[in-house]
């Protein structure tokens, strides 16, 4: 097999050289053919040694680090008593900021997400509550997880979707207003998910929409469903935090490596944590010691708002000193600002050798940069893949409620 592949490549690249030589009037030499093959090989990253390996089947492991904590959704299910009433809040409501959510609604969302995660086949194959519904997924900024997980969540529940990944393919390129585009979306779908670097775009569209819109990241402002996925992960890891009263020994110290004023994930995470102050002993914000003088750690009134809600917040620039005391370490380095991005915290890098508490978990909204070493992937501290996996179930739960189909999967009254 390897021999045949090599022979094919030699003939193919040889013919390319041959064609080239014929055009310039001489015949290709053996060395031309070899050079052509080497160029092709380098281009495709398939060196001969690797091609030889193709003769064996390439196997994969069905269980990987993203399924650490497989049993945890069941424990969270048991910790939260079912009550469908708070989920009615989500009908006829846009999701722009995490601020608008009641803690009871969030808990019931997590419960429904845990129900989906515990038994996905039951809903994905046999009971598809979004049948007949259409999602408009409009992403004007790069995304792997958010766009694809919303799309996956919708399809898993039986719905259809329209995806727009470039605003220049819509009337916006001809000067059409966002308000008018939203008027049209009312006719084409049942729910909109929008990621736009312009923080005001989601507000402009929501003013004329008669179907719900979900903010999937608006510049440096908010990313509410990421925060829901983050807290859902934390509650799966320690379900006692979702109980009506949390014992002092269960309360967590969470370290957030990032900038609340510049990172939408961090801003929304802090806001959702502020809905559950009894679960949190302390939040430690860890940022660069040499922060650019034009950037502040918090926006005006941001810290006051969080403290008033009951969060105990401290600021540090020394990750190594903090790590041994942290139960949850949340790290992010990228902040989307308009059509570009900034990188912060370049001095910080989590590796497997660091002195974590044995039970500590590491979260990251991803995409990964050098701040999160791959050496952590196969350790029990890796809950970031589980965090991304759980986001699908969290979004399934949210979408079901927002298009008023919750009664198909739970008793809502
Ligand atoms: N977490 C997150 O927002 O990832 P994407 O940018 O890939 O959507």
- pTM (whole model) above 0.85: yes
What is the C-alpha separation between 358 and 372, in angstroms, rounded?
18
Question: Best-predicted range by mean pLDDT among 11-15, 125-129, 271-275?
Answer: 271-275
For residue 242, what pLDDT is reported? 96
Half-sphere exposure of 275 (CA within 13 A, CB side): 20
Q: Which of 16-25, 86-95, 168-177, 254-263 has the lowest mean pLDDT?
A: 16-25
Q: How far is the CA of 365 from the centre of ligand 1 (A)?
A: 7
Radius of gyration of the CA atoms of the chain, in A: 25
Closest atom of ligand 1 relative to the 391 alpha carbon: 1
* Cα 228 from Cα 233, distance rounded (Å): 9
Number of neighbouring beta carbons within 10 Å of residue 122: 12
pLDDT per residue over 195-234, tens digit each? 999 999 999 999 999 999 999 999 999 999 999 999 999 9
Q: Is the pLDDT of residue 68 over 60?
A: no
Asked if the model's pLDDT at residue 4 lies above 70, the reply is: no
SS3 46: coil
Phi, psi at residue 160, to the nearest 5°? -115, 160
**Per-residue confidence (pLDDT) for residue 63, from 0 to 100:** 73
Of the two residues 312 and 67, the one the predictor is more confident about is 312
Which ligand 1 atom is the nearest neighbour of the CA of 146?
A: 8
Of 289, 270, 396, nearest in space to 344 by CA: 289
Cβ(73) – ligand 1 distance below 6 Å: no
**Torsion sign (Cα): 232, 236, 237, 238:** positive
Average pLDDT over residues 31-51: 58
| Residues 68 and 386 sit within 8 Å (Cβ to Cβ) | yes
Does 21 score more than 70 pLDDT?
no
Report the alpha-carbon distance of residue 384 to residue 69 in Å, rounded.
12
Q: How far is the CA of 334 from the centre of ligand 1 (A)?
A: 11
Overall average pLDDT of the 88-113 stretch: 97
Tell me: pLDDT of 17 over 60: no
Calpha distance 305→309 (Å, rounded) = 6
CA 143–ligand 1 middle distance (angstroms): 5
Q: Has residue 356 got a pLDDT over 80?
A: yes
160 CA distance to ligand 1 middle (Å): 22
Tell me what the mean pLDDT of segment 98-118 comes to: 96
pLDDT at 398: 98
**pLDDT on residue 263:** 97
Question: For residue 35, what pLDDT is reported?
Answer: 53
Neighbours of 173 (CB within 10 A): 10
Same fold, 71-221+392-408 and 224-390: yes
C-alpha of residue 153 to centroid of ligand 1, in Å: 15
User: Is 186 a residue whose pLDDT tops 70?
Assistant: yes
Q: Which band of pLDDT confidence, cut at 50, 70 and 90, is reported for residue 37?
A: low
Cβ-contact 146, 217 below 8 angstroms:
yes
According to the model, what pLDDT value does residue 3 have? Answer: 45
Q: Rounded distance, CA 224 to CA 91, Å? A: 17
> pLDDT at position 122, please?
82
d(CA 93, ligand 1 centre) in Å: 23
- Residue with the smallest CA separation from ligand 1 atom 4 is 145
SS3 (DSSP) at 178:
helix
Distance 147 CA to ligand 1 centre (A): 8
Ligand 1 atom closest to Cα of 149?
Answer: 8
Kindly report, residue by residue over 273-326, the tens digit of the pLDDT.
999 999 999 999 999 998 888 899 999 999 999 999 999 999 999 999 999 999
- Cβ within 8 Å of residue 107, ≥6 positions away: 80, 86, 242
Cβ of 366 less than 6 Å from ligand 1: yes
Q: What is the pLDDT of residue 38?
A: 55
Is 146 near ligand 1, meaning CB less than 6 Å away? yes
Could you report the per-residue pLDDT of 148-180, keeping only the tens digit for each? 999 999 999 999 999 999 988 999 999 999 999
When pLDDT is cut at 50, 70 and 90, the band that residue 404 belongs to is: very high
Omega cis (within 30) before 367: yes
Ligand 1 within 6 A of 145 CB? yes
- For residues 83 and 290, give the distance between their C-alpha atoms in angstroms, rounded to a whole number: 48
Q: Where are the domains of the chain?
A: 2-53, 71-221+392-408, 224-390
Give residue 43's pLDDT.
56
For residue 365, pLDDT over 80 is answered with yes
Query: CB of 306 within 8 A of CB of 268?
Result: no
Any bridge partners for residue 362, and if so which?
A: 329, 382
Least-confidence region, from 22-31, 270-279, 313-322, 376-385: 22-31
**pLDDT band at 147, cuts 50/70/90?**
very high
Task: State the pLDDT confidence band at 72, using cuts at 50, 70 and 90.
Answer: confident
- What is the reported pLDDT for 367? 94
Q: Is residue 80 over pLDDT 60?
A: yes
The mean-pLDDT minimum among 23-32, 121-130, 153-162, 264-273 falls in 23-32
Architecture of domain 224-390: 3-Layer(aba) Sandwich (3.40)
Is it the case that residue 126 has pLDDT exceeding 80? no
pLDDT at 46 over 90: no
Cβ–ligand 1 distance for 193 under 6 Å, the answer: no
Class of domain 71-221+392-408: alpha beta
Q: Is the pLDDT of residue 248 over 60?
A: yes
Q: What is the mean pLDDT of residues 344-362?
A: 96
- The atom of ligand 1 lying closest to the CA of 365 is 1
DSSP 342: E
């Amino acid at each position: 097999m390897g021999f045949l592949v090599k022979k094919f490549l030699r003939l193919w690249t040889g013919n390319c050289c041959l064609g080239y030589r014929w055009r310039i009037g001489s015949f290709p030499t053996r060395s031309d053919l070899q050079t052509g093959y080497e160029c092709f090989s380098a281009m495709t990253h398939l060196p001969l040694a690797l091609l030889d390996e193709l003769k064996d089947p390439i196997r994969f492991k069905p269980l990987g680090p993203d399924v650490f904590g497989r049993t945890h959704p069941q424990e969270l299910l048991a910790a939260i008593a079912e009550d469908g009433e708070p989920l009615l809040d989500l009908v006829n409501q846009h999701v722009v900021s995490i601020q608008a959510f009641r803690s009871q609604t969030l808990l019931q969302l997590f419960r429904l997400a845990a129900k989906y995660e515990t038994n996905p086949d039951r809903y994905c194959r046999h009971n598809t509550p979004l049948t007949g519904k259409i999602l408009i997924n409009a992403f004007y900024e790069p995304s792997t997880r958010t766009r694809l997980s919303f799309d996956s969540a919708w399809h898993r529940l039986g719905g259809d979707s329209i995806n727009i990944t470039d605003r220049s393919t819509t009337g916006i390129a001809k000067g059409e207003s966002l308000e008018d585009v939203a008027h049209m979306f009312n006719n084409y779908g049942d729910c909109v998910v929008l990621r736009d670097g312009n923080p005001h775009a989601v507000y402009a569209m929501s003013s004329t929409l008669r179907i719900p819109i979900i903010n999937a990241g608006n510049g440096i402002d908010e990313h509410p469903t990421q925060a829901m996925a983050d807290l859902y992960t934390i509650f799966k890891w320690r379900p006692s935090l979702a109980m009506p009263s949390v014992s002092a020994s269960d309360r967590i110290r969470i370290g957030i490596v990032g900038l609340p004023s510049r990172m939408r994930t961090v801003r929304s995470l802090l806001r959702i944590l502020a809905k559950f102050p009894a679960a949190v002993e302390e939040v430690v914000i860890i940022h660069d010691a040499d922060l650019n003088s034009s950037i502040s750690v918090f926006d005006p009134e941001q810290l006051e708002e969080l403290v008033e809600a009951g969060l105990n917040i401290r600021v540090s620039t020394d990750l190594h000193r903090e790590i041994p005391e942290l139960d949850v370490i949340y790290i992010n380095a990228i902040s989307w600002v308009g059509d570009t991005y900034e990188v912060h915290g370049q001095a910080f890098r989590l590796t497997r050798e660091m002195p974590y508490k044995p039970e500590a978990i590491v979260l990251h909204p991803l995409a990964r940069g050098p701040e999160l070493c791959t050496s952590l992937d196969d350790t029990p501290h890796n809950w970031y893949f589980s965090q991304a996996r759980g986001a699908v179930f969290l979004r399934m739960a949210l979408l079901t409620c927002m298009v008023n189909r919750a009664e198909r999967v739970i008793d809502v009254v």
